[in-house]
Amino acid sequence: MPRPPSSQLTEVELQILRILWNKGASTARQIHNYLTEDRNTNYSTTVKMLSVMLRKALVKRDETVHPHLYQPAATQARTQQKMLKDLIQKVYNGSAGSLMLQALSSQKASPEELAEIRQLLDKLEGDEK
């Protein structure tokens, strides 16, 4: 009995999703051409990956046109949010604060990023009052 597909995105799946988010609906051949800019892969491997991603509901395929067009099943923001929630649950025991402290202490944030973080914290503090 085959195991159920993992909900975790692989590096290649994420790379394919980034292509689709940036370039829009694309054929398997177009996706393959974009992929080969960064990695050496066979066209058949790209088609297989798209098939797996269809089963995992990560992409949608428009079969009304030929060649078929693939597009992401979710927006980039929604996918990032889901991945972040999974990370917070699995690695930081559900603590978003622990994640933020670790992130800010491990890599220097730009002044612009710090200003955005301060703005978000001020907004969150205002919402609690």
For the chain, which residues make up each domain, given as ranges? 11-72, 92-128
Q: What is the pTM of this model?
A: 0.80
33-40: long-range pairs with CB below 8 Å, 24+: 39/12, 39/15
Q: What percent of the chain lies above the pLDDT cut of 70?
A: 93
59 three-class SS: strand
Q: Could you tell me where the DSSP H helices lie in the chain?
A: 11-23, 28-35, 43-55, 76-91, 96-106, 111-128
pLDDT of residue 2: 63
Spelled out in words, what is the top-level CATH class assigned to the domain 11-72?
mainly alpha
- What does pLDDT average to over the chain? 92
Tokens representing 23 are 């370039």
Report d(CA 76, CA 83) in Å as an integer.
11
pLDDT of residue 105: 92
How open is the CA angle 28-41-31, to the nearest 5 degrees?
25
DSSP-derived letter for residue 26 is B
Report d(CA 7, CA 79) in Å as an integer.
11
User: Does 18 have pLDDT greater than 80?
Assistant: yes
Split at pLDDT 50, 70, 90, the class of 36 is: very high
Indicate the length of the chain as a whole number.
129
Amino acid identity of residue 118, one-letter, is: R
Q: What pLDDT digit, counting tens, does each position of 86-118 carry?
A: 999 999 999 999 998 999 999 999 999 999 999
Q: What pLDDT digit, counting tens, does each position of 70-79 carry?
A: 999 999 999 9
